[in-house]
Structure 1
Amino acid sequence: MLASATCFVTLKAALEQAPPLRLVALRLLIGGAMLLALFPVMGIRLVPSRDLWPWIIVLGIAVTAFAYGTMAISLGYTGAGIASVLGNSQPLLAVALGVWLLGERLTRMRLLALLLGLVGVVLVAFPATSEMAVGGQIGPLLALASSVGLVTASLIVKHVGPGVSRLMLAAWPLVLSSVPLFLLSLALEPDPKITWSLQFISLLLFLGICIFQRT
């Protein structure tokens, strides 16, 4: 949780030097390239098999781009603390969606953990969000949407099966997800002002590495 919160703070700082969509596209491309570089070392074939491409495309374009895009945009509307809490509620959402979509059994302990977790999120987030105007609550909602996207990605990976390399299902979707984000950035951020300083490059590389904890 601490490492993830650090990533949110770093992302917030990087957003002061680059527009959100362009920043996220660069982050995902760099993170995916870093993972692909590990393939030869770990003896993983670089090109996925044909039957994996539909899943990779869904993970990359429909899920990963959405999750990381909403994550970055949310920080333009709310603080890194609230975004971090809501953006890291995946374990709670995973339990709920697993029961709903995958038919997983909800034991008493899992139900208790789910309820306690939800109470914790509300206690942390409500004092801040309750003071916002209705329009100002878009940031927390986007952060929560990001968490839903990441959980959806986890459920898809789980559905594909244990025989497939998790690294394969992480690296290629990251690279592909940068494409729609770059295109959206060209359309919505036609004149992106990026400060290519040593600090920004360091932040960008760190954000690329941060993705590893979610793979």
Structure 2
Amino acid sequence: MAAEPRPGRLDPTGLALLLATVVGWGLNWPAMKLLLPEVPPFSIRGISATVGVLLLAAMALRRGEALAVPARVFPRLALASALNVTAWMGLASFALLWLGAGEATIVCYTVPLWATFFAYALLGERITALRLLALAMGLVGLSVLVLGNGVQAGVEKLPGVALALAAAILFSLGTVVTKRWPVPMPPAALVAWQTGLGCFPLLIGALVFDRWAVEEVSARSWLLLLYGGAVPLGLSYLAWFAALKRLPASAAAAGTLLTPVVGVVTAAIFLGEPLGAREVLALSLTIGGVVLAIRG
């Protein structure tokens, strides 16, 4: 069991695990954007999820975690899977058809802003003036992101923004629902089940709707698909749970704000996406709003 960090000092191992988590998650956004010309969205998530589920299940067994799901908690598990995985992964993937990887990352990581209202409705947490200010900052940041290059350019991005916002809102609902009605299962087993159940509809979607030439997929794309399953869906989640054991929840939550930063910067490096005043201002406003939401 990890030792408790001394007051005023964050556990170095916990910080390293948190950094590994946000880097793994952040890099997945440009990776998915690179995949889209060769692999359709449903298939991207379906193939990566299969890799991730197998890896997580193997790790759960190695750690001695039971994979059996108690019948009484299965409805909670199914609901959490639909909100935290099906909606999040499916909608966010399709948003990339209209948005750059950096733009999609910024919109999707507004989750804490929307969680404020669900926490009020389901947990009785009050909505403070600070949280209202956070929401206003986040909305201004999104406006800068969408309209900063002109109204016409913004209108063209609206389908992607709508999908990314829906992903963020439904994921925030899933987060609050899980807090209200937790699923009592070990970490690796829980993530394996959530990912498997949540991605099953996406696999069905791939079989029904996706048409792509498997033999024409490049070696780079196959490696990116493996990365999407092994790292963001597998190792990063395990690192996240390990970090939560060593760090205060507020510090861990604030640390995840590095994820959109990693996504935006790496999208500029690997995809040549713009990283100018508009992107920096939008990122600063939305992250500032999220920080206030977490503190408020």
Q: Bin the TM-score by the shorter chain.
A: 0.7 to 0.9
Shift of 1:158: 1.0
Shift of 1:183: 1.5
**Where in structure 2 are the equivalents of 1:1-215 lying within 5 Å?**
4-61=25-82, 63-128=84-149, 130-132=151-153, 134=155, 136-161=157-182, 163-189=184-210, 191-194=211-214, 195-208=216-229, 209-211=231-233, 212-213=236-237
2 CA distance for matches of 1:86 and 1:51?
35
- Structure 2 portions without partners, runs of 5+: 1-21, 242-296
TM-score (norm. length: structure 2): 0.63
1 CA distance for matches of 2:178 and 2:90?
20
Q: Is the 8 Å Cα contact of residues 61 and 177 (structure 1) preserved in structure 2?
A: yes
Deviation per residue, 1:116-152 (Å, 9 max, x gap):
3333333333314733374641011111111122222
2 CA distance for matches of 1:159 and 1:169?
16
Are residues 120 and 20 of structure 1, via their aligned partners in 2, closer, same or farther at CA, if it must alter by over 3 Å? Answer: same
Deviation per residue, 1:156-176 (Å, 9 max, x gap):
221223854344432202112
2 CA distance for matches of 1:2 and 1:145?
24
- Residue 131 of structure 1 aligns to a residue in which SS? helix
Shift of 1:76: 1.0
Over alpha carbons, which structure has the higher Rg?
2
Q: Percent identity?
A: 25
Are residues 129 and 45 of structure 1, via their aligned partners in 2, closer, same or farther at CA, if it must alter by over 3 Å? Answer: farther
Q: Is the 8 Å Cα contact of residues 5 and 81 (structure 1) preserved in structure 2?
A: no
Q: Is the 8 Å Cα contact of residues 4 and 210 (structure 1) preserved in structure 2?
A: yes
TM-score (norm. length: structure 1): 0.84
1 CA distance for matches of 2:68 and 2:185?
13
Name whichever of 53-62 and 71-80 sits farther off. 53-62
Give the aligned residue type for 1:117: G
CA RMSD of aligned residues (A): 2.6
Name whichever of 69-78 and 156-165 sits farther off. 156-165
Q: Is the 8 Å Cα contact of residues 4 and 84 (structure 1) preserved in structure 2?
A: no
Deviation per residue, 1:175-195 (Å, 9 max, x gap):
122221121222212x32234
Are residues 141 and 123 of structure 1, via their aligned partners in 2, closer, same or farther at CA, if it must alter by over 3 Å? Answer: same
2 CA distance for matches of 1:129 and 1:102?
40
1 CA distance for matches of 2:91 and 2:159?
10
